[in-house]
Structure 1
Amino acid sequence: MHSRPFGRTGRNVGEIGFGAWAIGAAWGKVDDVESVAALHAALDAGLDFIDTADVYGDGHSERLIARVLKERGGERPFVATKAGRRLPAQTVDGYTAANLEGWIDRSLQNLETDCLDLMQLHCPPTDAYYHPEIFDHMDRLVERGKLRHYGVSVERVEEALKAIEYPNVASVQIIYNMFRLRPAQLFFREAQKRQVAVIVRVPLASGLLSGKFGPDTRFASDDHRQFNRKGEAFDVGETFAGVPYDVGLAAVEKLRPLVPDGATLAQLALRWILMDDAVSVVIPGARTPVQALANIAAAELPALPEATLAAVAKVYDEDIRPHVHQRW
């Protein structure tokens, strides 16, 4: 596993991490036996970065991670979690010192640790980034030893740019993939200048970029790819990266010829993300050992040629840009 600096934290992390949303909830049936096996397989293969959140299965994802780490013993990987989505409504008023500490205490208990490696504000309302007292609260929690570092998980590029104005924001988690190119323009360059770590989520556009879906694919009622198609439960950009399903399927067919011999479209999509050195770690989800190991193998693909990068940009400009570029 190749490693990259995680911003200015002094830590290096493997460039492929483990996104633990799918082992918590909202991706159809959860199989704990398979989830545990997937985590063990990934860690055995050298993965050392796991991303979760307190609302993934109401803490189920965090508790599964703690279980696996206890079973393994030894040196712990870098575990990032998130807080803020437990609010009944997303308002700035909800991000009080008491609420933040309560959420963090719950994650400390779930993860069975005394100090969180990284706690990220979990897609708070845009106005939160204009309230320095929220970030002051996070500073106090670091001083008290409950957090080593803190960051933010954002929906919009504008939120990311505002967040990194705060000097102690160590990381930004953002959606970036072949269907969401805008972060690489201004935000990635600014993050590099400030030595802010970049965590890339939704790298496969909720599976669209796996190339495994078709017009007749059906998703379970408890899978966000079914219940959040129009943003009914949370930001629609989290589902298929905000791209209309039929538009995404058509674009995928244009991308298939770019897949290198012996690789999959999903591996190409992950390797494409890693071509930008502003990216610290990309966190594809995995629910089985096979998926986890296939994700990690993507990092071993050779650097992509300029012709491939140009072809991806052409598909984006022609098919995807009108649907997503200015929205996020």
Structure 2
Amino acid sequence: MQKRVFGRTGRQVGEIGFGAWAIGGAWGRTDDAESMAALHAALDAGLDFIDTADVYGDGHSERLIARVLKERDGPRPFVATKAGRRLPEQVVEGYTAQNLSAWIERSLRNLEADTLDLVQLHCPPTDAYYHPEIFEAMERLVEQGKIRHYGVSVERVEEALKAIEYPGVASVQIIFNMFRQRPAELFFRQAQRRNVAVIVRVPLASGLLTGKFGPDTTFAEDDHRRFNRHGEAFDVGETFAGVPYEVGLVAVEKLRPLVPEGATLAQLALRWILMHEAVTVVIPGARNRQQALANIAAAGLPALPPQTMEAVARIYEQDIKPWVHQRW
């Protein structure tokens, strides 16, 4: 797997990482043994970047990662976590230095680490990006040795552009996929100019871009693809990338003929993201070893030809853009 430099940190990471939301919860049934096997398989295959959060399974994802890493020898992968969603209500006033420190202490315990590689503010309210004291509090945590670097996880492009004005922000995590293309218009260029790492989440549009779903697919009660279909629990853009399910299914059928021989639609979707040089690492989820290895294999696909990139752009313009482009 090719390596990319993680922004101004100077550290190199593999271009496919492991998104650990699904192994924590909110994606239906999970099995800890399968989750740990997926992580081990990915690490054995050379993966070296894991993304999690303190609220994934109320810390269960972080603790599973710690268990896996305790079972392994050799270099420790880059582990990124997030903080902020433990607030009962998302208000700027909750992002105090005291709260941030407490959340990070909890993640240190969960991950059994002395220092956290990267802590990302976890989709805070837009107004938070206009409060320098929040970012100053993160700087203090770096000085105290609790975290090495900090970044943000955002919902909107506008939030990303504001965040990278702060010189200490090392990374931005953002939704980007064949169904959410706006970040490539301006944000990617600005991130490159400022040497900020870009972590791409929801690369498969919550599974829509695997091509495995249909009109009759049902999701478990505790799966956000059921309970957050209309943004009932959190930002609707996190579920199917904000695309109405039926609209997404139609677009998926138009994408199928573009899949290279011997590959899957999911691998095409991941390779399409890696065609954008501003992307540092993409973090698809995996709940078993087969999914984890298939994700990593996408990095080995040849570069996509111009006609494929143009076809994806046309499908986005015609089918998807009116639903999502100006919302996020």
The residue that corresponds to 2:118 in the other structure is 118
State how far apart, in whole Å, the 2-side matches of 1:288 and 1:113 are: 25
The residue that corresponds to 2:218 in the other structure is 218
Superposed, 1:159-198 pairs within 5 Å as 159-198=159-198
Q: Does 1:209 align with 2:220?
A: no
State how far apart, in whole Å, the 1-side matches of 2:30 and 2:264 are: 25
Q: Does 1:65 align with 2:65?
A: yes
State how far apart, in whole Å, the 2-side matches of 1:75 and 1:3 are: 16
Cα distance, 1:75 vs structure 2: 1.2
State how far apart, in whole Å, the 1-side matches of 2:74 and 2:3 are: 20
Describe the superposition over 1:83-120 as per-residue Cα deviations: whole angstroms up to 9, x where unpaired. 00000000000000000000000000000001000000
State how far apart, in whole Å, the 1-side matches of 2:66 and 2:153 are: 22
The residue that corresponds to 2:28 in the other structure is 28
Cα distance, 1:74 vs structure 2: 2.3
State how far apart, in whole Å, the 1-side matches of 2:275 and 2:10 are: 22
Structure 1: 5+ residue stretches without partners: none
Q: CA RMSD in A?
A: 0.3
Paired AA for residue 32 in structure 1: D
User: Any idea what SS the aligned residue of 1:145 has?
Assistant: coil
Structure 1 vs Structure 2: percent identity of aligned residues? Answer: 82
User: Any idea what SS the aligned residue of 1:25 has?
Assistant: coil
User: Any idea what SS the aligned residue of 1:72 has?
Assistant: coil
Q: Does 1:237 align with 2:251?
A: no
Cα distance, 1:132 vs structure 2: 0.2
Paired AA for residue 312 in structure 1: V
Q: Does 1:108 align with 2:135?
A: no
TM-score, length of structure 2 as denominator length: 1.00
State how far apart, in whole Å, the 1-side matches of 2:196 and 2:102 are: 26
Cα distance, 1:31 vs structure 2: 0.2
State how far apart, in whole Å, the 2-side matches of 1:303 and 1:71 are: 36
User: Any idea what SS the aligned residue of 2:118 has?
Assistant: strand
Describe the superposition over 1:59-84 as per-residue Cα deviations: whole angstroms up to 9, x where unpaired. 00000000000001321000000000
The residue that corresponds to 2:78 in the other structure is 78
The residue that corresponds to 2:280 in the other structure is 280
Q: Does 1:271 align with 2:271?
A: yes
The residue that corresponds to 1:148 in the other structure is 148
State how far apart, in whole Å, the 2-side matches of 1:30 and 1:99 are: 30
Describe the superposition over 1:224-245 as per-residue Cα deviations: whole angstroms up to 9, x where unpaired. 0000000000000000000000
The residue that corresponds to 2:136 in the other structure is 136
Q: Which structure 1 residue ranges, 4+ long, deviate > 2 Å from structure 2?
A: none
User: Any idea what SS the aligned residue of 1:148 has?
Assistant: strand
State how far apart, in whole Å, the 1-side matches of 2:189 and 2:307 are: 23
State how far apart, in whole Å, the 1-side matches of 2:77 and 2:27 are: 24
Cα distance, 1:30 vs structure 2: 1.2
User: Any idea what SS the aligned residue of 1:151 has?
Assistant: strand
Paired AA for residue 135 in structure 2: F
State how far apart, in whole Å, the 1-side matches of 2:97 and 2:217 are: 44
State how far apart, in whole Å, the 1-side matches of 2:188 and 2:121 are: 19
User: Any idea what SS the aligned residue of 2:80 has?
Assistant: strand
Paired AA for residue 82 in structure 2: K
User: Any idea what SS the aligned residue of 2:117 has?
Assistant: strand
The residue that corresponds to 2:41 in the other structure is 41
State how far apart, in whole Å, the 1-side matches of 2:66 and 2:54 are: 13
User: Any idea what SS the aligned residue of 1:8 has?
Assistant: helix
